[in-house]
Amino acid sequence: MGSENITAVRIGKERVVLEEDTTVVPIELELAGSSTVELTLTVAAPPVMEVAQAPAVGASRLTLGQKVPAKPEGVASGAIFKPIKRTDAAFATLVRNDNSDIVFKNEEGTSADRMMTPKLKVKLDALAVLVKAEWAGTKLRVTEAWDEQGEHAAGSLHYEGRAADLTTAPLDNAKLGRLGRLAVDAGFDWVFYENAVHVHVSMKK
């Protein structure tokens, strides 16, 4: 009988339709002579259908605009305390990332893109390993980390060195969705597939 949902039984020319909620059907067979044999037909419940559906949180790629976790950055990573200037005492709390498996854009020529909080550095270094393993010959690229020039929106965590903008080297925007997922796997506090040309990540203070 397997897992088929039996709706009727046929005995000789007789077709007996089972009630919808029937689960156990007593059957009595009358044999030639005087003996009878009683049987019980058990109708299996219909199999539970598993709906194939990729859960957004566990999918192998982030979709454009997706945030993980799906909350505002200020909730996931915490709002900015105070932008850090090079002349501030707080500047000494930032570390320089010289990981050779990461390409830094450094378009400012000041190495500001290499400056970040120790927490952000740990996660970028972890992500660099994942990127290298995922795509032979491709490296993680950081286009922005700490920003001392006010290039981001007010309140941006880039000003505290807690955020980074990511692509790959060589540049391949088709990899960004997967890069976003790898960033989630690396353990950033917030990952945002912000637009078609970069993924933004940030860390708690």
Residues forming the site for Zn ion (CB under 5 A):
165, 200
Shortest distance in whole angstroms from residue 91 CB to Zn ion: 20
Nearest to Zn ion of 43, 180 (CB atom)? 180
Shortest distance in whole angstroms from residue 165 CB to Zn ion: 4
Shortest distance in whole angstroms from residue 156 CB to Zn ion: 7
User: Phi and psi of 94, rounded to 5°?
Assistant: -85, 150
| Position of minimal CB gap to Zn ion | 200
Residue 105 burial class via C-beta count within 10 angstroms: exposed 0-12, middle 13-18, buried 19 and up: middle
Identify the DSSP state of 185: H
Nearest to Zn ion of 160, 165 (CB atom)? 165
Shortest distance in whole angstroms from residue 64 CB to Zn ion: 15
Identify the DSSP state of 181: H
Alpha-carbon span 83 to 28, nearest angstrom = 85
Residue 58 burial class via C-beta count within 10 angstroms: exposed 0-12, middle 13-18, buried 19 and up: exposed
